[in-house]
Structure 1
Amino acid sequence: RTTVVGIGPVTEEVRFNALELFHWGRTLSGCVYGNSDPAADVPVLGEHVRAGRLDLSALVTERIALDAVPDAFAAMRAGKGARALVVF
């Protein structure tokens, strides 16, 4: 069994050998955000952040103003974007 985590550009294709997959009964599945349940998981994660048990600072690569969001999207489309935190 193989689980694919993360995605590439919308134009990226994945090739595989059909015989390997179907004849041997193998499984290929995708995983989006760890298959979480946002309604249940986000409040729990928020509490961990507030209590200091989960440090998110390493996930933020830059802080941007609200009016810089279009530039951040342009950078993302060019493959240069990272994890920006919008401060307003």
Structure 2
Amino acid sequence: MTSDDNTPVLSGAIGQYREFDPPAALERHFLCVWSNTLRPDAGGLSAVVPDGCVDITWIDGDLVVAGPDVAVALSTLTPGSTVIGTRFG
């Protein structure tokens, strides 16, 4: 599933999303650490559902601070890439 026609798809629908507990030394700062690995045949315009939290993410070599969002955020993701993030409450 790709968004070749510029119609956004949910980011969870094009990859494997996982959440992990933060390392013990960081658990007072972060709610979780997460990753979303996109399938090699998936990517394009992605819709991220708002959760009211702030995330620091590593996307295609760029560090991005996102949130807190109250509306859907759109992001263009590279097929096969992995997005890694930390979530604050």
TM-score (structure 1 length as normaliser): 0.22
Please state which structure has a larger fraction of its residues in strand: 2
Q: Which has the larger radius of gyration?
A: 1
Larger RCO of the pair (alpha carbons < 8 Å, separation 6+)? 2
